[in-house]
Amino acid sequence: MSDSTSPNDAKRYDLIVVGAGSAGFSAAITAAENGARAALIGHGTIGGTCVNVGCVPSKTMIRAAEAIYTARAAKRFDGLAGEACVADWGRLIAAKDDLVRELRQKKYVDLLSSYDAIAYIEGKARLADGGVFIDDALIAAPKIVLATGARPKVPPIPGLENIRFLTSTTLLALETLPKSLIVIGGGFIGAELAQMMARMGVAVTLVCRSRLLPQTEPEVSDALAEVFRADGVRLLCGVAYDACRKDDTGVTVCVKESGDLVELKAEKLLIATGRAPNTERLGLEEAGVTLDKRGAIVVNDHMRTSKEGVYAAGDVTDKDQFVYMAAYGAKLAAKNALNGDRLAYDNRTMPWVVFTDPQVSGVGLSEAAAKAAGHDVKISVLPLGQVPRALAARDTRGLIKLVADAKTDRLLGAQILAPEGADSIQTAALALKYNMTAAELGETIFPYLTTVEGLKLAAQGFGMDITKLSCCAG
């Protein structure tokens, strides 16, 4: 669908939204629901990162890899045996692409016809007085929301410019499964994709400058690193990237580990060192829109930029880089742009998830962040071996860590490393949102033989020895 009326009809739109991904659609739909007329400007494939090259394709491939692992892990039960492998990589990729096309059509393209107040316009937008230019045509509106997203970030490693390296986008489009892979980056994306590829039968080496998932608690990072090694992933953490080059086998990456130069060889190289905001060619500098060191748009708690009338949301900003927070921020941006800056961005109880196996999830403050904020901190760390659900499943990989204020007993944060543990983090988020104490969480009734029961046990662990409880005595 495209706009059939002259774009030069001044003040025809109440709001212009630049970017047709999750954040852009959220802003445009919010505007329409608030009685406004919005111009939604898209460039490239409609739907943005999440549905096309991010969340949807990666998570279905991760689930496929988990199916392989689950079959092989059947031997953890006495009397069982199982095996699985990639039988046809091409069919697996094709099925992933079919899912992407289906969701893009249903959740983006088909939605446009449901909103008469949204005009979809394709083109490259550039900020201008009173609106944006697309080519030489002015699209006029008093307010603008920028939601142009981000792309894979490429680090300045000597020699990288001469290599056809993979990104999170191109890895999921490979026509053949490589025999070996080096992954540079141990953050959310690098960790998920490294484990996925290892379970697909690829010899994976992951290198990172810090530790695996440096955003997480050290206990979580260390425990997940053990899981990765058990899965066959070679980990080199705390290294410096020196150089890379093409060779007869594919690629050589040179890193410095404890001062020693280490050469790593593989068929393919994946760069997973974060995301870079799409701010180029928008005319931001000329318009007076402030950017941070990453090149991201700086917004205040009302999602307003330094330019009057211009708001921004999603991965293009300096806010949280999660698709659901992009949609949330975009909704705030549209409402504030249309109705005044009454709503403020609040991420204090924002849950997050890393789709490794075990899954990593968290909410609130880490132990270090709580101390930095001035809290007198107490912690409880519960190994998954103390959770009945994990014992019954013969899978005790993981732990639960709670952080609380020692003076008030108020819960400050939680992190869970557990198979399907992501489904439990919202309980912790609600506990933080409603200012529960550790004692109150520990006294709450939880269903037996569930993973989420581990939150109750971890809360009780602040004041008692959990090992001395019978199965249901908590």
Q: 192 a known binding residue? A: yes
**Is position 327 within any domain?**
yes
pLDDT at 469: 83
Residues 335 and 282 in one domain: yes
Counting the structural domains of the chain, the total is 3
Residues 207 and 248 in one domain: yes
CATH (domain of 439):
3.30.390.30
**Structural domain of 246:** 160-273
- Choose the final residue of a domain: 231, 253, 273: 273
Q: 136 a known binding residue? A: no
**Is position 445 within any domain?**
yes
Low pLDDT (below 50) residues in the chain:
1-10
Q: 319 a known binding residue? A: no
**Is position 389 within any domain?**
yes
pLDDT at 473: 56
Q: pTM here?
A: 0.95
pLDDT digits 0-9 by tens, 302-338: 999 999 999 999 999 999 999 999 999 999 999 999 9
Residues 194 and 225 in one domain: yes
Residues 357 and 368 in one domain: yes
Residues 20 and 141 in one domain: yes
Q: Are β-strands 143-146 and 310-312 bridged in parallel, bridged antiparallel, or unpaired?
A: parallel
**Is position 376 within any domain?**
yes
Residues 264 and 290 in one domain: no
- Choose the final residue of a domain: 312, 339, 366: 339
**Is position 80 within any domain?**
no
Chain centroid offset of residue 250 CA: 29
**Is position 97 within any domain?**
yes
**Is position 213 within any domain?**
yes
pLDDT at 474: 59
Q: 274 a known binding residue? A: yes
pLDDT at 235: 98
**Is position 59 within any domain?**
no
Q: 35 a known binding residue? A: no
pLDDT at 281: 94
User: Which of 336, 330, 337, 334 has the alpha carbon at shortest distance from 316?
Assistant: 330
CATH (domain of 185):
3.50.50.60
Residues 146 and 23 in one domain: yes
Q: 188 a known binding residue? A: yes
Q: 147 a known binding residue? A: no
Residues 202 and 122 in one domain: no
Q: 130 a known binding residue? A: no
User: Which of 450, 363, 377 has the alpha carbon at shortest distance from 415?
Assistant: 363
Using an 8 Å Cβ cutoff, are 318 and 292 in contact? yes
Residues 219 and 140 in one domain: no
- Choose the final residue of a domain: 273, 289, 308: 273
Integer distance in angstroms from the first to the last C-alpha of the chain? 58
Residues 120 and 35 in one domain: yes
Using an 8 Å Cβ cutoff, are 276 and 292 in contact? no
Q: How far is CA 255 from CA 190, 244, 308, in A?
A: 17, 9, 46
Residues 254 and 139 in one domain: no
Residues 182 and 235 in one domain: yes
- Cα–Cα distance, 148 to 317 (Å, whole number): 9
pLDDT at 1: 36
Q: 185 a known binding residue? A: yes
